[in-house]
Amino acid sequence: MAMQYSSELNIILAKVFEELKNLELQMERAVIWIYYPENRSVRWWAANPEAESGTDSFLITNQNHPVYLEYWKLWEERRTKYLYILEGDNMVSWCDVLFYEMELGRLPKEVQAAMREPERVYLYNTFNDFGVLFISCLEPLSDEKFTILERFGKVFDQSYTRFKDIKQAEIREKEAIRQSALDRVRAEIASMRNTEDLQRITPLIWRELLTLGVPFFRCGLMIVDDKEQKVRFYLSTPDGSPLAALHLDFESNDISSNGVKHWRKQQPYIAHWNREEFLAFTKTMVAQQQIQNATTYQGGEEPPELLTLQFIPFPQGMLYVGSAEDLSPAQIDLVQNLADAFSVAYARYEDFKQLEDAKSQIEHTLTELKSTQAQLIQSEKMASLGELTAGIAHEIQNPLNFVNNFSEVSDELVDEMYEEIEKGDMEEVKFIASDLKDNLAKINLHGKRADANVKGMLEHSRANKGEKAPTD
pLDDT at site 239? 61
148 CB contacts (<8 Å, ≥6 apart)?
23, 25
pLDDT at site 326? 93
∠ CA(466), CA(467), CA(472), 5° rounding? 110
pLDDT at site 406? 76
Backbone φ, ψ for residue 312 (5° rounding): -105, 125
Distance (Å, whole) CA 254 – CA 249? 11
pLDDT (mean) for 108-113 = 91
Question: How many CA within 13 A on the CB side of residue 70?
Answer: 12
Q: What is the largest CA-CA distance in the chain?
A: 183
Whether the pLDDT of residue 318 is over 70: the answer is yes
3-state secondary structure of 53: coil
Q: What single-letter amino acid sits at 90? A: N
Among the listed residues 182, 264, 268, the one whose alpha carbon sits nearest the alpha carbon of residue 224? 264
Interval 219-254: pLDDT, tens = 888 889 988 899 988 877 656 566 657 888 898 888
pLDDT at site 372? 86
Q: What single-letter amino acid sits at 390? A: A
Pick among 3.40.50.300, 2.130.10.10, 3.30.70.260, 3.30.450.40: CATH of 6-167? 3.30.450.40
Report the range of poorest mean pLDDT among 75-89, 257-271, 401-415.
401-415
| Residue 339 CA: distances (Å) to CA of 60, 231, 262 | 36, 17, 15
pLDDT (mean) for 63-87 = 95
Whether 191-327 and 6-167 are alike in CATH topology: the answer is yes
7 CB contacts (<8 Å, ≥6 apart)?
none
Distance (Å, whole) CA 370 – CA 183? 45
pLDDT bucket at 367, cuts 50 / 70 / 90: confident
Q: For the CA atoms of 17, 20, 21, 27, what is the dihedral angle to 10 degrees? A: -100
Is the model's pTM score more than 0.75? no
Distance (Å, whole) CA 365 – CA 106? 75
Kindly give the residue spans of alpha helices, DSSP state H, lying in 200-328: 201-211, 254-265, 275-287, 294-298
Report the range of poorest mean pLDDT among 68-72, 96-100, 121-125, 288-292.
288-292
Q: Are 442 and 406 in contact (CB under 8 A)?
A: yes
User: What is the overall mean pLDDT for the chain?
Assistant: 82
Which CATH architecture describes the domain 191-327?
A: 2-Layer Sandwich (3.30)
Give the count of beta carbons closer than 10 Å to the beta carbon of residue 398: 14
For the chain, the structural domain boundaries read 6-167, 191-327, 359-453
Interval 391-430: pLDDT, tens = 777 777 777 887 788 788 778 878 888 888 888 878 887 8
Using only C-alpha atoms, what is the Rg of the chain?
51
Pairing of strands 306-314, 269-274: antiparallel
Among the listed residues 401, 396, 384, the one whose alpha carbon sits nearest the alpha carbon of residue 458? 396
Proportion of the chain in helix, strand, coil states, percent, rounded to 5: 60, 20, 20
Backbone φ, ψ for residue 125 (5° rounding): -115, 145
Q: Are 240 and 206 in contact (CB under 8 A)?
A: yes
The full length of the chain comes to: 472
Q: Are 47 and 84 in contact (CB under 8 A)?
A: no
pLDDT at site 3? 39
pLDDT at site 404? 81
Long-range pairs for 224-227: beta carbons < 8 A, 24 or more residues apart: 224/260, 224/263, 224/316, 224/317, 224/318
Interval 199-225: pLDDT, tens = 667 777 888 888 888 888 888 888 899
